[in-house]
Amino acid sequence: MPTDPFLPEGRQFPRARSPDAGGNDRNDRKRRRKVLSCYDCRRRKLQCDRALPACGRCTKTGQAANCLYLEDASDAPIREPDLQHTSTAGSGRHPALHGHLIRPIGVTAPTGDLLSRLEFQDGRIKQLEAALAAAGQSVKLSRLPPTPEPMHGGVGTAPVLDRETTLLRGKSFKTQFHGDTHPGALIARIPELHGFTREIFKSFPALSRIKEDMQSLEKRSQHAGAKHEAVSDNDLRSLLPSKADADHLIQIYLDNYECLYHIVHLPSFWTEYETIWTDLIAASAHFVALILVMMAAAQCLTSRQPWLYTANSSTARERAVAFVHAVENWLLVQSQKHVGAIDFQIRVLLLLAKQVTARKFKRAWTESGSVLRFCMSAGLHRTPDLIRKPTSLVDKELRKRVWAAVTELELQAAFDRGMI
């Protein structure tokens, strides 16, 4: 650069400025370095290892869900979602879902004040919701089973999906429920499968004979080698006390437990209760078992004197334990396929009687879970309106009450066990 002879030695002419330098302030702004750290590490001025999906520092502090990599663009506008581009971009996959799983996020986020960042996040949420809605419309719904006609016969009955009614088969308490992963649920997904299997059985009659032989063989070997003492129906009837004692214990049960677990239909109960004393031999074994567990639950609440003990247990408790033991062994040989409302009532009251008599109380949680699953296998955890076959209103209401009682007993046992 030339020097001026009139200036001191070593001084040069001042550098000329461009004519438009003073009019453009952006050229004078210092170029900022690209932001690579996450937002929290940058805000705290800490070193960031830039790991994905969350950096190591945020992971150690338990803030992995809040670890974000934001570009430094405080003046970046918030773009509205482009639904047309979102629905057409990408072949064979949903770009909105794919882009949501990638860190750092593609849209620039402001790092200025808190208000601007909140506005950006609100716009980003709206964009993702719109993209998900557009992506969901492209899913074909033809794979789902058709919706059947609405059920008639009740006021305010909502339409029932064919998928639900297929999984919940039967009527009243004789129902079975299977989940979506059960092999039998394929019938709901493949309507042609039922017709195909029916044609196969017609074409090959030997398959029907093989099926019958297998069922008869299963019945013969069902109770072979059982270690439990077999309790017959007559054994249960022999345990019944006199009518006066039975009336006293049943009344104690109704006064103390019926207000808590209202699972017995009292009008029909009293009708059958009065008939068994006229002909005890012809009495139903299931109803006798129900009476025994009700008396077992009320036996320890009696206040008759004198108190007699066998070892460290009272005679009243030993009598209740005998009722519980007999009904429990009797249930082991009963069919779990042909069941009614009384089968569920017996199992629920058996749980209650075991808790009152403190019989095997360490197994209360596991046994209540077994009864809970027994009810779920019959679909008691689903609304009774899903049953397509004719079912009385009494049975529908009893299904709800039995399920409520089972869940309460299971929850109570879980608290006692410390499993909550």
Q: What percent of the chain has pLDDT over 90?
A: 26
- The pLDDT assigned to 380 comes to 92
| CA–CA–CA angle 145, 150, 154 (5° rounding) | 140
Nearest to 344 by CA among 285, 403, 276: 403
Q: What's the rounded Cα separation, in Å, for the pair 388 and 160?
A: 9
Average the pLDDT over each of 33-37, 65-69, 195-199, 265-269 and give the range with the smallest value: 33-37
- Segments in 204-304 forming alpha helices (H): 205-220, 233-238, 243-256, 266-276, 285-299
Give, in order, the Cα–Cα distances in Å from 97 to each of 94, 104, 126, 140, 170: 6, 14, 14, 17, 41
**Of 85 and 25, the one with more pLDDT:** 25
For the segment 15-23, the average pLDDT, to the nearest whole number, is 48
| Digit-coded pLDDT (tens) for 225-262 | 545 567 888 889 999 999 999 999 999 999 999 889 99
Asked whether 343 and 173 are in contact (CB, 8 A), the reply is yes
- Residue 275: per-residue pLDDT: 92
pLDDT at position 312, please?
64
- CB distance 377 to 329 below 8 Å: no
User: Residue 314 corresponds to which tokens in the numbers above?
Assistant: 């009272």
Write phi, then psi, for 75 (nearest 5 degrees). -100, 15
**The predicted structure's pLDDT at residue 314:** 79
> Per-residue pLDDT for 93 more than 70?
no
**Cα dist from 165 to 31, 144, 160, 173, whole Å:** 67, 14, 7, 15
CA-closest candidate to residue 165, choices 195, 190, 185: 185
Closest by CA to 247, choosing from 217, 273, 265, 272, is: 273
Average pLDDT over residues 213-227: 65
pLDDT digits (tens, 9 = 90+) for 100-133: 333 444 445 544 556 667 777 887 888 888 888 8
Least confident range from 164-178, 323-337, 385-399: namely: 164-178
Question: CA–CA separation, 306 vs 310, rounded Å?
Answer: 13
Q: What average pLDDT does the chain have? A: 75
- Give the DSSP letter string of 282-347: TS-HHHHHHHHHHHHHHHTT---SS--EETTEEHHHHHHHHHHHHHHHHHHTS-SSS--HHHHHHH
The residue assigned the tokens 């009065």 is 274
What gap in Å lies between CA 251 and CA 243, rounded to an integer? Answer: 12
Per the listing, tokens 């974000």 go with 68
Q: Which of 123-137, 156-170, 253-267 has the lowest mean pLDDT?
A: 156-170
**Quick count: other Cβ atoms within 10 Å of Cβ 246?**
18
Per-residue pLDDT averaged across 286-304, rounded? 90
- pLDDT grade, residue 352 (50/70/90)? very high
Looking at the chain, the whole-number percentage of residues with pLDDT higher than 70 is 66
The amino acid occupying position 332 is: L
Mean local confidence (pLDDT), 341-363: 90
Omega before 53 within 30 of 0, i.e. cis? yes
What was the pLDDT predicted at 181? 65
pLDDT band at 307, cuts 50/70/90? confident
pLDDT band at 350 (very low <50, low <70, confident <90, very high): very high
Q: State the pLDDT confidence band at 329, using cuts at 50, 70 and 90.
A: very high
Q: Would you mind telling me the total number of residues written for the chain in this entry? A: 420
